[in-house]
Amino acid sequence: MMHVIELSGITKSYGDIKVLEDVNLKVREGETLGIIGPTGAGKSTLLRIMDLLERPDEGEILFMGKKVDDLKPLEVRRRMGMVFQNTPVFRGTVAESILYGPRIRGERPDESEMKRVLETVGLEGYESRKTTELSGGERQRLALAQVLINRPDVVLLDEATSSLDPISRSRMEDVIADLDVTVIFTTHDLLQGQKLADRIAILNRSILQTGKPREIFRKPASRFVAEFVGARNILRGRAHITGDGISIIECDGISIYSSERATGDVSVTIRPEDITVSWRRMDSSALNQLEGRVLAVRDAGSVQHLEVRC
């Protein structure tokens, strides 16, 4: 499979602050990759480096298998398009704003292509609308249309929905999900990552883990990743494998059984949604049945959080 972008050993500092350190990442053609991390993790800087808006202090970038240092930056950037959290749009009408890009490239305006792009982003019939009359969500979809009119190989989205209201955000996410192009987006929103991404890369200065959303959420590679993706019960213990091939992890007097084969010191996560609460011992084949005392119950919208001491 062709890799559209390949990053090797990317490092970037601003003064004494190291923002990115030894980032290695490959982006497959046609996939939607979500780069997820906390505030200050280096997400925006990494996207700007991909778009050649900034140069790394160290490392190598390949675009379509070729070193970008051997290519003309403008030619590479013309094959990519970026939408920011608050992308500026041009004054005038929606049509004028969309066709501005092709005009400065010396291309003849193609109104049929413009109509196709407007339909893609859900703004059909908006050609004569003034850009100053658009809502925040409509302006972000217009910003995406300004990118798509140039038929890029890669679309980069830097927190492109974070400032939108829930309805506009959902509409923008639906548009992104239907794009037939390689998409790389940054977010700190785990649910958005699960909804949109074919693969997720967890970033905190370095890439900590990459994989499909289910893999990241079900098998976090480190305690940081586990905590970041919302694991609420992280237990440390020592594991050994029984003759039946089942791992038993001893955690402070509690025995946890797992089908994952492991030995030695390990960390175990038990997601709240995998736990069934019963007032009496259940008649079940489940190996992990623990008795405990409920210490606290907290409302959390449509669910309740229980704190239990086992």
Give the pLDDT confidence score for residue 103 in this predicted structure. Answer: 83
Is 129 in the same domain as 20?
yes
Give the pLDDT confidence score for residue 111 in this predicted structure. Answer: 82
Is 88 in the same domain as 130?
yes
Is 246 in the same domain as 294?
yes
Which of 174, 192, 226 represents a domain boundary (last residue)? 226
| Strands in the chain per DSSP E | 3-14, 17-28, 32-36, 58-63, 66-67, 80-83, 154-158, 182-187, 199-204, 206-211, 234-241, 247-251, 254-258, 264-269, 293-300, 303-309
Is 196 in the same domain as 236?
no
Collapsing DSSP to helix, strand or coil, 185 comes out as strand
Is 44 in the same domain as 159?
yes
Rounded-to-10 torsion of CA 14, 19, 25, 31 = -100
Is 162 in the same domain as 276?
no
Is 206 in the same domain as 299?
no
Give the pLDDT confidence score for residue 212 in this predicted structure. Answer: 96
What are residue 27's DSSP bridge partners?
5
Question: Which pTM was predicted?
Answer: 0.86
Q: Which of 165, 111, 162 is nearest to 135 (CA)?
A: 165
Which of 210, 226, 242 represents a domain boundary (last residue)? 226
Extract the tokens encoding 301. Answer: 């919208």
Is 202 in the same domain as 244?
no
Is 199 in the same domain as 60?
yes
The CATH number linked to 157 is: 3.40.50.300
One-letter amino acid at 80 equals M
One pLDDT digit (tens) per residue for the chain, 310 residues: 689 999 999 999 999 999 999 999 999 999 999 999 999 999 999 999 999 999 999 999 999 999 998 888 888 888 999 998 887 778 899 999 998 888 888 888 778 888 999 999 999 999 999 999 999 899 999 999 999 999 999 999 999 988 888 898 898 899 999 999 999 999 988 889 999 999 999 999 999 999 999 999 888 988 899 889 888 788 888 988 888 888 888 988 888 888 888 888 888 888 888 888 888 887 777 788 888 889 999 988 888 888 888 8
Is 213 in the same domain as 243?
no
Give the pLDDT confidence score for residue 207 in this predicted structure. Answer: 97
The total number of structural domains in the chain stands at: 2
Is 198 in the same domain as 289?
no
Domain enclosing residue 79, as ranges? 3-226
Give the pLDDT confidence score for residue 305 in this predicted structure. Answer: 86
Which of 171, 204, 226 represents a domain boundary (last residue)? 226
Is 183 in the same domain as 197?
yes
